[in-house]
Amino acid sequence: MSGGARSNSRGGGAEGVSPARRVAFEVLEAVRTDEAYANLLLPTRISRAGLNRADAAFATELTYGTLRMLGFYDLVLELAADRPTSSIDPAVLDVLRLGVHQLLATRVPTHAAVFEQVALARKVAPKAAGFANAVLRTVSRTSADSWRELVGAGAKDRDDRLARLSSHPAWIVRAFRAALAREGRESELEALLEADNDSPRVNLAVLPGFDDADAETVGGVTLEPDRYSPIGAVTDDPIGVARSSGGRIRVQDEGSQLAALALTRATPIAPGERWLDLCAGPGGKTAVLAAEALGGGAGVVANEAVQARADLVRNAVAGVPIEVDVRVGDGRELDLTALGAPDGFDRILLDAPCTGLGALRRRPEARWRKSPADVAELTKLQGDLFDAAVGALAPGGILAYVTCSPHTAETHGTFGAALARWGDRVEQLDTRAVVVALSRHPLDLDGDPRTVQLWPHRHGTDAMFIALVRRTGADSPVADATVADR
Ligand SMILES: C[S@@+](CC[C@H](N)C(=O)[O-])C[C@H]1O[C@@H](n2cnc3c(N)ncnc32)[C@H](O)[C@@H]1O
């Protein structure tokens, strides 16, 4: 992220500015200085500030909108201020970014946007108030469309232009282009970039396996079936419904639901099956696995490398009436006996650590934090976890390899290399047939016919990749736990 980092917070001195703007500024500041996650911090700050519903909605729009479009806004600011953003005080830059968002992307009257942001600038850096006033007035004198033309005019090539206008790093635009081109759907690139800048619809998962799992109303609220996931639902007050459901209903992206169900419903469940969620934190998919295991008579072990995230998995499954054994450990070093499955697992979910480029709608700051170097590091980890997972499968056991990234290095790259390493010891299953059979409505899928790539712009889901394999042969899983020829 441009603008650099500061260690001293100056957001606390912003009393007098409207509370929604103050909250948005504080979250931007924490994202910049503390690597905070906006989606985790914002609700706490809203509640601490005691914002009413309208102000909470405004603070959310300001924070998310500004963080998503930050790349574009910085280019606007460089033109308006006639200097690089790196030369602007980082706190003042955040104030200006919030101002540009109000001026170019909301209905906030110009005078209110400028007045409030200049007041905020005066609080965080008194000497910068005049500068903030001049820059924001310059921004306000040109329309949003004209700023787009001006920003686009500075592009080096077509992907740089798309990157500038859609506020994505250029390497992500190129990665998305390559992933769509693999499906022959490169023409959808702009729609995908636009979808990343929209607020996603909140989807619910109605966990199966409970006595009243088919109920269409919860606390008097009617649920509408979602488009694809057979356990998915939407409603006007999803958060309220989830809170009052006693754990049966959760907020969860439809793509995540389909990924978990692809594993549990690939074949009928035999009572007594052992299942492993290898990288489980924070446990959204573990809860679906647990509910499915409850109905089918399977047992579930959840593994997670990070203690705090394992605690989140425990919370996530607390409402499902089945004992889930949650362990903390490195998924590359599995001890099957200690995990209670000396003969291996019948189903394993590897929802792999990844760049998360498929969920940029939900994590507004994420696009500025990732780099191509992360991809190289993650694909190595993904391959190692894949090998550990296949090594932990019982003969005939099924592995679901899942990423919430469409980057082809993390999807077909990791998966294809793993298939080559394992040769005839694994067989690829027809994941597409499994997911299409699950889906409530036809899914527009393309590219490789045996894996599934979902897309925000096409399906309204995160860009989840799902690939199923089955372990062949009767050789001991423990003996194969390490693949010597990697
Ligand atoms: C994509 S997230 C899983 C999301 C989860 N399935 C859900 O639906 O909530 C990947 C997880 O893998 C964990 N992880 C990273 N490296 C790991 C490793 N070597 N072994 C086990 N877990 C790991 C991360 O801490 C993270 O919680």
Q: Say what the pLDDT of residue 11 is.
A: 38
- What separation in angstroms does the CA of 324 have from each of 156, 166, 311, 336, 339? 53, 42, 12, 16, 12
- What is the distance in A from the centroid of ligand 1 to the CA of 435? 23
pLDDT band at residue 473 under the 50/70/90 scheme: confident
Using an 8 Å Cβ cutoff, are 407 and 175 in contact? Answer: yes
Q: Say what the pLDDT of residue 210 is.
A: 73
Select the more confidently predicted residue: 483 or 351. 351
Residue identifier of the C-alpha nearest atom 1 of ligand 1:
353
* All domains in the chain, ordered by first residue: 11-146 (1.10.940.10), 155-196 (no CATH), 204-471 (3.40.50.150)
**327: pLDDT strictly greater than 70:** yes
The answer to whether 279 is a known ligand-binding residue is: yes
Owner of token pair 């647990």: 290
**290: pLDDT strictly greater than 90:** yes
- What is the distance in A from the centroid of ligand 1 to the CA of 410? 15
Residue 354 among the catalytic residues:
no
The answer to whether 397 is a known ligand-binding residue is: no
Tally helices (H) and strands (E) across the chain: 20, 14
- Work out which ligand 1 atom sits closest to the CA atom of 353: 10
- Work out which ligand 1 atom sits closest to the CA atom of 385: 19
Mean predicted confidence (pLDDT) in 204-231: 80
CA 99 to chain centre: 27
Q: 458: closest CA among 264, 179, 238?
A: 179
**484: pLDDT strictly greater than 80:** no
pLDDT tens-digit profile of 43-66?
Answer: 999 999 999 999 999 999 999 999
pLDDT tens-digit profile of 62-109?
Answer: 999 999 999 999 999 999 999 999 999 999 999 999 999 999 999 999
The answer to whether 285 is a known ligand-binding residue is: yes
The answer to whether 283 is a known ligand-binding residue is: yes
Say which of 404, 419, 464, 466 is annotated catalytic.
Answer: 404
pTM confidence score: 0.92
Residue 238, ligand 1, Cβ within 6 A: no
pLDDT tens-digit profile of 161-210?
Answer: 999 999 999 999 999 999 999 999 999 999 999 999 998 999 999 998 77
pLDDT tens-digit profile of 113-150?
Answer: 999 999 999 999 999 999 999 999 999 999 999 999 99
- Work out which ligand 1 atom sits closest to the CA atom of 331: 20
Q: Say what the pLDDT of residue 211 is.
A: 61
Residue 453, ligand 1, Cβ within 6 A: no
